[in-house]
Amino acid sequence: MIPSERGKCPFDPPSEYSRLREKDPISPITFEVAPNDRAGWLVTRHDYVRQILADPRFSHRNELLAHVVAPPFPIPEYNPQPSPPGAFAKTDNPEHAKYRRLLAGHFTVRRIQQHEPELASIIDGVLDEMEASGSSADLLKVFAETIPARSVCSLMNVPPELVADMSEHFGALMKLTYTMEEFIGHMEAIDAVLRDMVKKRAAEPMDDFFGQLIATGELTEDELVNLAVLTVGGSLDTTPNMLGLSVFALLEHPQQLARLRARPDLYETAVDELLRYLTISQMGSSRCALEDVEIGGRTIKAGQTVVLSLPSANRDPSVFPAPDELDVARLPRKHLALGFGAHQCLGQHLARSTMRIALRKLFDRFPSLRLAVPADEVPLRDRAVHYGVDELMVAWD
């Protein structure tokens, strides 16, 4: 349905995107599972992707969208429902704006800057544990997954054991290899864990992230649980995959890593360049046309789903010169790895800070860090919502 066959370079999106971007940037596709019209469109050019992300004539409502990838189990009858209250990621305004307004103050640049000393301390602790463990490790487990989990515990005052449970269930769901029974089991487990946490917070109020949400008096228990799924769960798959894949990419680009070591100030730009270059959201972002819309000579009919290929848009040579090269000094201001418009990633400042501090501290602490296996033996997450590595064995002196 959408290109999925990657070439020899593990960091490049499918090469078919280059041809589509040039020859057919809004190309027809057919969905296996759709609520109405199974005919849809794949958009691969940067300007068209950005335009649609900002256009209110395109909806992000769950009940309108076709499945980009069919679930790994048969669906006898596809009848998608609106997102439940609080699960605002796949809603439109005013519902989307209502919930985003309640959360936005916790993820501002200033709030994340205040969190950075604690974040740096968390990262130092993780690196201390790595150093004490010996001279090799699976970096995905001990570094890339551990840091975001502990950061969530700190920033939102969430019990570590709860985050550990959530990480396991979210990780399984994001890999898209579950049965229907496993899917239901993971979803029920996530709901049970977070519902228990919300009830305890309501009974014993605290002046923290969830305590402040409860104190507004605007939210039901269901809304709080669904907001917790988005805020806690949202960082337990994206940031770990970006960190793991970024380390892999830098180890495979030693000249770029040498530039970072010589000029640590470049980590600021390197984070956004890595976001652009790797663009882990390999399934793209979907929208449904609310009315007939003409773009690029194509008429997208009301009810049709468009898949916006973020990896393709971020390799568009009309916006990023030499787009297939990793350049840590590049400032890719228009990259779309974190979305654009009303649905741009709420936790983007936290993600950037985590990557910048974690990568710098890692390579400062372990200057001899290297892959412990050949690059072509690193297992990749080809079939998953977010691209990355399943394991990253590294060694150091």
Q: Where are the domains of the chain?
A: 16-395
Question: For the segment 277-294, what is each residue's pLDDT rounded down to a tens digit?
Answer: 999 999 889 999 999 999
Can you tell me the distance from the alpha carbon of 384 to that of 153, in angstroms, rounded to the nearest whole number? 25
Q: What is the CA radius of gyration of the chain?
A: 21
Cα-flanking dihedrals φ and ψ of residue 371, to 5°? -65, 140
What residue has token string 């130092």? Answer: 124
Strands of 370-371's sheet in order across: 136-138, 393-395, 370-371
DSSP state of 375: G
In a structure prediction context, what are the per-residue pLDDT tens digits for the chain, which is 397 residues long?
Answer: 788 889 889 999 999 999 999 999 999 999 988 888 889 999 999 999 999 999 999 999 999 999 887 676 676 677 788 999 999 999 999 999 999 999 999 999 999 999 999 999 999 999 999 999 999 999 999 999 999 999 988 998 888 888 888 888 888 888 878 888 888 898 899 999 889 989 988 888 888 899 999 999 999 999 999 999 999 888 888 999 999 999 999 999 999 999 999 999 999 999 999 999 999 999 889 999 999 999 999 999 999 999 999 999 999 999 999 999 999 999 999 999 999 999 999 999 999 999 999 999 999 999 999 999 999 999 999 888 899 999 999 999 9
Nearest to 149 by CA among 239, 277, 52: 239
Instruction: Tokens for 244, please give them.
Output: 């793991």
Span 327-370, pLDDT tens digits: 999 999 999 999 999 999 999 999 999 999 999 999 999 999 99
- In this structure, the dihedral spanned by the alpha carbons of residues 298, 299, 303 and 308, taken in order and rounded to 10 degrees, is 20
Task: Kindly report whether the global pTM for this prediction surpasses the value 0.85.
Answer: yes
Identify whether the C-beta of residue 307 lies closer than 8 Å to the C-beta of residue 68: yes
From the list 259, 210, 256, the residue with the least C-alpha distance to 232 is 210
The first and second tokens of residue 226, run together, are 């669904």
The torsion region of residue 17 among left (phi > 0), alpha (psi -120 to 50) and beta comes to alpha
Q: Tell me the CATH class for 16-395.
A: mainly alpha
Q: Which residue is it, tokens 């309640």?
A: 102
In contact, 42 and 29? CB cutoff 8 Å? yes
